[in-house]
Structure 1
Amino acid sequence: MIPVQGLAGSRVAVLGLGRSGLSAALALRAGGAAPVCWDDNPQARAAAEAEGLACAPFKSAQAFEGIARLIVSPGIPHLYPAPNPVVAFALEAGVPVDNDIGLFFQSFATREWDNFETMPRVVAVTGSNGKSTTSALIHHILEHVQRPCQLAGNIGRGVLDLEPAVDGEVVVLELSSYQTDLARNLTPDVAVFTNLSPDHLDRHHGMGGYFAAKRRLFAEGGPDRAVVGVDEDEGRFLAGQLSQGPTDDRVIRVSVERKLTGPGWQVFARKGFLAEYRKGKQVASIDLRAVAGLPGAHNHQNACAAYAACRTLGLAPKVIELAFHSFGGLPHRSQTIAEANGVRFVNDSKATNVDSAAKALMAFKNIRWICGGLEKEGGLEGLAEASASVRKAYVIGREAAGFAMQLNVEAEVCGSMEVAVARAVAEAEEGDVVLLAPAAASFDQYDSFERRGEDFIAQVRAIIDR
C-alpha cells in the first residue's frame, strides 16, 4: 500500500467503496488522515466498516464542514451528464474533489528516494482502444528484462494498492478518461496516447470533452516523454501542442496507417513491420507478423506504442523484440481460446465500441461474427468497411433484431450466446474464425465484458469438448 501524503490529521470524504474507493480510504488512513466513507450499496458499506472505516451519508453542503477533500470513485459523475448529489454538495461547500489517481501522484515519491541510484518512473497509458494491451505489454517487456515493475490503474490493482517503489522501479498505469478527467495531480514521466474514437460521450458531454479528459494527462504534469498515436486529428493536434518543433524528440509519434517521416522520433508499422526512425534515419525494424499475441493492425499499434515507451526507458530494440514473442495477450482481447477442425475461436469481448470491433474484424479473414449487446451512441456505420471479411453475423442481446438490421452482412438473430455459438459452429468451415467482437456494451445481459467473454469461452468448450 502507498500511504497518502499531505492529508495527515485531515478528515477526508470518500464516495464509492469499490476497488479504488476502498483502497483509497485505507491508504488515507495509513497516511494519518481520517476517512469518512459512503456508498449507496449496503454491502459495500459493510465491507468498509469491517475494515474499521467510518461510514456516514453526505446529505447537504453542511455535511462537508471540516472535510478537507472529497475522493470520488471513477464511475461516479462529477460534472456530466449531471454531478452526483454528493459531489454537488462538496462543490457548493468549496471542498476540492479528487480521485485515487490524484492521491497516488501526490504520494508516490518519498524521502527514501534520496538514497536510490535510479529514480523510479511512472509510465501512464490512456486512449480509447488498446490501452490495456499496451500497458500490459510494457509491463511484460519490463518483466522480461527483470526490471522492477508494477502494473495498476484501470487494469489489475488499484493504484494505492501498489507497493512503495524500490530503486529503479517502473510503475505502469492504465488510465481511463474517467480517471484522468478528475485527478488533481497527473505527473507521469512517460505518457502514452494510443488513439481516440467516440466513447463515453454522455459522461464527457461530447467528443471535445472526451478528448480534453485524455489531454489532461499530458497538459497537467508535462511528462518528460510523450508517445502519441497520430492516426486521428486529435492525436496530431496533441503531438503538435507538446512539441517545440520538428526535431523535438520528447514527442514520439506513432502510426499504423502511414510511414512517418521527418527529423524527429517516429515509430510506425506497415504491412506487419514495425520501424523506428530518428533524425530521418531508420534505427530498428521488427517483423510483427509472427508475434502470435499481437494479431492485426490494432495490436500492431499497441506494439508500436509499447515499443516507443520502452525505448524511452533505455531498452534496446532486440530486447523488446524478444519480449514481444513471449507476450500471450490479454483475456478478452483478440484472445485465441481454441482451434478445432480447422476453425479458430477468438474472444474479443473487450471490443465494446464500433472502433474496437472494426479493428478486430480487420485482423482476421473468413469470420463468423458474434456481435450485439447494449448499443452505444453513434450507430454502427463504422463497421461497414471493416466487415468485408465477415461470412455471417450471429447477433446477441436484448435488442438483437434492431442491431442486426443495421449490419451490411448476412445476419441471424440469435439472442443468447449459447444459440449464437451453436449456430456459428454448425455453419463454420475449415479456415473460418468464430470471432466474438460485440461492438456494444454487455450490460443488457452481463455484469461486465469479462462475464460475456467467459460465457463465450464456456459455450465454445461445451461444444468442442464433447
Structure 2
Amino acid sequence: MIPVRGYEGRKVAVLGLGRSGLATARALIAGGAEPCLWDDSPEARANAEAAGYSLTDLTRGNAWDEVATLIVSPGIPHLYPEPNKLIARAMAAGVPVDNDIGLFFRSWSTPDWDDMDQVPKVIAVTGSNGKSTTTALIHHILQVAGRPTQMAGNIGRGVLDIEPAQDGEVVVLELSSYQTELARAMTPDIAVFTNLSPDHLDRHGGHGGYFAAKRRLFAEGGPDRAVIGVDEVEGRFLANQLAQGVGDDRVIRISSGVKLEGPGWSVFARKGFLAEWRKGRQVASIDLREVRGLPGAHNHQNACAAYAATRTLGLAPKLIEEALHSFEGLPHRSQLVGERDGVRFVNDSKATNVDSAAKALQAFPKIRWIAGGLGKDGGIASLKPHLGSVVKAYLIGHSARDFALELGDTPHEICETMESAVARAAEEAEAGDVVLLAPAAASFDQYPNFEKRGEDFAARVRALIG
C-alpha cells in the first residue's frame, strides 16, 4: 500500500467504507494517522467492524473535534444534487474535504526516488466512454514492453492499495468525474481525455459541470503531456486551452474518423488505420482492422489514446503494434466470448446507455442485436441512424416492449430473457453475423449489475457452442 503522508498523529475522518474507503483507512494507519471511520449504511458499518475496524459516529457533534480533513468515497455527493449531510457539516466547520486520489498524489513520491535511475510516472485517464479500455490497454502495452507497471483507480485496485514505486515504474489510473471533481491534488505526468458525452448530469449540475469535473485533471496540476480526444467541441476547447501554440507537442490531439492536420503532434484513425503525425509529416502507421480485441471506431479511438500515451514514454511504434494484437479486451466491453460456424458472439454489457450502444452497433457489419433491460429516459429513439447493420433485434427485460415500439422497420423479436435471446439469435445467425449484447439499458430489472448480465450472456453462449 501507499502510506498516506502529511497526517502523522492527526485525526482524519473517512466517510464511505467500501473498497476505496477501507483502503484509505489502511493507508492512513500505515502513515501514522488516526482514521475516524463512518458510513451512512448500517451494513457497510457492520462489514467494517467485522473486518476489525473501529468506527467513529460522525453524526455526533464532538466527533469533529481536531479532525484535520474529511476523505470522501466517490459515490457520495458533495455538491449536486445536494451535499451529503456530513460533508455539509464538514464544510460549514471549515474542515477540508478530499478523496483518496488527492491523498495518493500527496503521498506517491518519496525521498528514495532520488536514488532511482528513472523517476516513476503516473498516467491518468478520464473521459465519458472508453477510459477503462484505454487504461487497461496502456497497462498491457507497458507490460509487453517490460516496464514495471500497476493499474488502479476506477478499475482494479484502489489507488492507495497499490505497492510503492519501483525504479522506472508507470502507474496507470482510470479516474471518473466523481474522483477528479473533488481531489485536492492531481499531478499526473501524462493525462488522457478520451471523449465527452452526457452522463452523471444530476451529480454535476449539468453538462458544463460534468465537463468542468473532467477538466480539473488538466488544470489543477498541469501534466507534462496531455492526450486529448478532439472529436467533440469540449475536447477541442481543452486542447486549445492547454497548447501554447500551433506546434506545441506537449498536447497530442487524437481522433477516430478525422484526419488531424497542422504542425503539432497528432494520432488519428481512419478506415481502420492508425496514423501518427509530427511536425507536418507521418511518422508511423498501424493497421487496426485485424486487432480482434479492439473492434470498431470507438475502440480505434482507445487505441489512438493508448498509442499516444505510450509514445510519450519513448516506446517504439512496432512494439506498441505488437501489444495491440495481443490485447484481449476487457470483460463486458466488446469482448469476444465465442465463435461457431463463422458467427461471433460479443459481450458489450457495459453499453448501458444509447451513446455506448451506438458505438457498439457501428463496430460490426451484420449484427443480431440483444438489447433491453431497465431503459433510461429518452429510450432508444436516437439509435435509429445506427440500426442499418442490425439484421434483427432480440429484446429482453423490462423495456423490451418499449424498445420494440421505437425500432421502426428493424426486424425484432421480444424474447424477455437472456436465455431465450441467445438461443434465438444463435439459431437464426449465419456465417459472418455477430451476435452482440449491447443493451442500451441498465441491468437492474434482471441482474444486480452489468457484470452479472454479461456473465450470463457469456455462460449461455459457451453452453451453446460447447
Identify the residue that residue 461 of structure 2 maps to in structure 1: 460
Stretch of structure 1 that moved more, 109-118 or 380-389? 380-389
How far apart are the structure 2 equivalents of 1:399 and 1:322? 42
- Which residue does 1:209 correspond to in 2? 209
Q: Distance in 1 between matches of 2:174 and 2:18?
A: 18
Residue equivalent to 2:143: 143
Could you tell me the percent identity over the aligned residues?
Answer: 72
Q: CA deviation at 1:95?
A: 1.3
Counterpart position of 2:393 = 393
Cα drift, residue 61 of structure 1: 5.4
Say if 2:346 and 2:434, in contact at 8 Å, map to a contact too.
yes
Task: Indicate the residue corresponding to 1:364 in structure 2.
Answer: 364
Name the aligned partner's letter for residue 6 of structure 2. G
Residue of structure 1 equivalent to 2:420: 419
SS of residue in 2 equivalent to 1:246: coil
Question: In 2, Cα distance between the equivalents of 1:19 and 1:402?
Answer: 37
Secondary structure at the residue paired with 2:106? helix
Residue 160 of structure 1, CA deviation: 0.5
Q: Deviations over 1:36-81 (max 9, x none)?
A: 1112344432332244422133225553222111111111111111
CA contact (8 A) 2:257 2:271 kept: no
Separation of aligned partners in 1, 2:276 and 2:27: 41
Query: What SS does the corresponding residue of 1:54 show, helix, strand or coil?
Result: coil
* Equivalent in the alignment of 1:238: 238
Per-residue CA deviations over 1:379-412 (Å, capped at 9, x if unaligned) read 4233121221011112222232223323342332
Q: Cα offset for 1:376?
A: 3.2
SS in 1 for 2:445: coil
Do 1:38 and 1:57's aligned partners in 2 also have CA atoms closer than 8 Å?
A: yes
Change (3 A) 1:60 1:49: closer
In structure 1, the partner of 2:350 is: 350
Secondary structure in 1 aligned to 2:369? strand
For normalisation by structure 1, the TM-score amounts to 0.97
Deviation, 1:175, is 0.6
* Pairing 1:244-393 to 2, within 5 Å after superposition: 244-393=244-393
- In structure 2, C-alpha distance between the alignment counterparts of 1:326 and 1:446, rounded to whole Å: 31
Q: Name whichever of 421-430 and 182-191 sits farther off.
A: 421-430
Q: For 2:201 and 2:25, how far apart are their aligned partners in 1?
A: 29
Whether the 8 Å contact between 1:61 and 1:92 is mirrored in structure 2 is no
Shift of 1:98: 1.1
Provide Cα deviations, 1:176-200, integer angstroms capped at 9, x if missing partner: 1111111111110000000111111
Cα distance in 2 for partners of 1:200, 1:26 equals: 30
Q: Distance in 2 between matches of 1:178 and 1:397?
A: 29
SS at match of 1:388: coil
SS in 2 for 1:191: strand
Against the structure 1 CA distance between its residues 378 and 57, is the aligned structure 2 distance closer, same or farther, given a 3 Å change threshold? farther
- C-alpha deviations, 1:352-380, integer Å up to 9, x for none? 22111111111112211111223334542
User: Letter of the aligned partner of 1:222 in structure 2?
Assistant: G
Q: Which runs of structure 2 are paired with 1:143-162 in the superposition (5 Å)?
A: 143-162=143-162
Aligned 1:18-33 pairs, distance under 5 A: 18-33=18-33
Partners of 1:41 and 1:361 in 2: CA distance: 39
CA distance in 2, matches of 1:7, 1:445: 45
Show the counterpart of 2:81: 81
Give 1:341 shift. Answer: 2.8
Moved more, 371-380 or 429-438: 371-380
Contact 1:252 1:267 in 2 (8 A): yes
SS of the aligned residue for 1:384 comes to: helix
Q: Distance in 2 between matches of 1:176 and 1:135?
A: 12
Secondary structure of residue in 2 paired with 1:458: helix
Q: Is the 8 A contact 1:149 1:170 kept in 2?
A: yes
CA distance in 2, matches of 1:352, 1:114: 46
| 1:104 partner amino acid | F
Q: Quick one: distance in 2 between partners of 1:359 and 1:304?
A: 16
Determine whether 1:197 maps to 2:197. Answer: yes
| Bigger mean CA deviation after superposition, 307-316 or 370-379 | 370-379
Q: Tell me if structure 2 keeps the 8 A contact 1:68–1:96.
A: yes
The SS at the match of 2:249 is coil
Cα distance in 2, alignment partners of residues 319 and 36 from structure 1: 47
SS at match of 2:387: helix
Counterpart residue number, 1:123: 123
Counterpart of 1:147 in structure 2: which amino acid? R
Q: Secondary structure at the match of 2:36?
A: strand
**CA distance in structure 2 between the aligned counterparts of 1:377 and 1:131, rounded to whole angstroms:** 24
Aligned AA (2:47): A
Unaligned runs of 5+ in 2: none
Contact 1:255/1:269 (8 A) holds in 2: yes
Cα distance 1:223–1:145, how it changes in 2: closer, same or farther (>3 A)?
same
Residue 103 of structure 1 pairs with residue 98 of structure 2: no
Partner of 2:45: 45
Given the superposition, is the C-alpha separation of residues 379 and 242 from structure 1 closer, same or farther in structure 2, using an over 3 Å criterion? farther
Show the counterpart of 2:447: 446
- Report deviation, 1:430: 2.5
CA distance in 1, matches of 2:405, 2:29: 54
Structure-1 separation of matches of 2:289 and 2:363: 11
Q: CA deviation at 1:414?
A: 2.5
Runs of 4+ in 1 over 4 A off after TM superposition: none
Q: Which residue of 2 aligns with 1:57?
A: 57
Query: Equivalent residue of 2:388, what SS?
Result: helix
Q: TM-score, normalised by structure 2?
A: 0.97
CA contact (8 A) 1:123 1:191 kept: yes
Instruction: Select between 387-396 and 399-408 the one with higher mean Cα deviation.
Output: 399-408
In structure 2, distance between residues paired with 1:132 and 1:270? 22
Aligned pair 1:10/2:16, yes or no? Answer: no
Give the letter aligned to residue 9 of structure 1.
G
**Distance between the aligned counterparts of 1:403 and 1:381, measured in 2?**
8
Q: What is the number of equivalent residue pairs in this alignment?
A: 465
Judge conservation of contact 2:196–2:211 (CA < 8 Å) in 1. yes
Determine the C-alpha separation between the residues in 2 that align with 1:160 and 1:460. 38
